[in-house]
Amino acid sequence: MDLDPELAALRPLGGFFVLRTTAATTATGPATATGAGAARTGLATLAEAYGPPRPDVPRGALTSRVELVADRLRVAEPRVSASIAHQALAARLWSAALACAAVYGSVPDLDPRLLRWDAPAAAPDDLWLTEVRPLPADTATLVDTVLHGHLQPLGEALRSRYGVAAGLLWGNAGSALAGAARELDRWARANGRTDVADRARALTAGLFAHPLLSATGTRSGTAFRRRSCCLYYRVPGGGVCGDCCFTRPPDSSPRAVSG
């Protein structure tokens, strides 16, 4: 199935998998975005969000998202809100990319310069793709578009700005991938799309064989147990996640923070 300009085949999977588009690709090239899509073209791109803070822009999109998470969850430690913001964005990127690969058999080019980010918005209105350019649906493409194109620069930005440990961030990336794969497999089986389930399973296995993800946790089928902690237990009223390395919240003093 060819990628359609609105990536409409993702809609039945649920909002977290949906990737909005701001322009329709026609036979003669990109059409002009209209309506809500046109309004989103003024948003920062993810390339800008990952870049160094600019003196003329006091609060960039990444800072805004981290501060929003801190405010909503009443988190006092910046690296905790940074970790949670990171995992949410990683999950969105993995979900959209893996779903396109499994459903369409093709992946849209997710170059950070093509993805605009509405940092205060929730899925699926947070990410807007400005142009749909089809790429092969293979592991190498997903590595290039998501791991190298997004998660590496995003992780570098969060480490430099908030001091989040690299192992924790890659654990977030592994957890986000496993969660996306699990939900996609559940949808595919419930809807009789064994072809989608098979493609998603093969791609996920290939991704977890990559050196940046292979040490992030252990897998059994669609289950995943990570080797690090995202720090959610340090959120007021929070606990440990289902795939956490801890079975119960550890000591919440600063010296006990796990990376």
What is the dihedral sign for C-alpha 245, 16, 181, 64?
A: negative
pLDDT at 52: 82
Residue 23: pLDDT band with limits 50, 70, 90: low
Average pLDDT of the residues in 165-169: 97
Between the alpha carbon of residue 257 and those of residues 78, 138, 170, 198, 249, the distances in Å are 13, 37, 16, 38, 11
Pairing of strands 127-129, 115-117: antiparallel
Q: What is the 3-state secondary structure (H, E, C) of 71-108?
A: HHHCCCCHHHHHHHHHHHHHHHHHHHHHHHHHHCCEEE
Q: What is the mean pLDDT of residues 227-235?
A: 95
**Percentage of residues in the chain having pLDDT higher than 90:** 81
Check whether 58 has a pLDDT greater than 80.
no
Mean pLDDT score of the chain: 89
Report the range of poorest mean pLDDT among 6-10, 22-26, 59-63.
22-26
Omega before 78 cis (within 30°)?
no
**Alpha-carbon gap, residue 85 to 220, rounded angstroms:** 27
- CA atoms within 13 A of residue 238's CA, in its CB half-sphere: 21
What is each CA distance from 201 to 82, 99, 142, 169, in whole angstroms? 29, 11, 14, 23
Under a CB-based contact definition with an 8 Å cutoff, are residues 81 and 25 in contact? Answer: no
Task: Check pLDDT > 60 for residue 108.
Answer: yes
Residue ranges of the domains in the chain? 8-27+34-251
**Considering the chain, what percentage of its residues have pLDDT values greater than 70?**
87
247 pLDDT band, cuts 50/70/90, is confident
As a whole number of angstroms, the distance between CA 53 and CA 157 comes to: 9
Identify the pLDDT of residue 134: 97
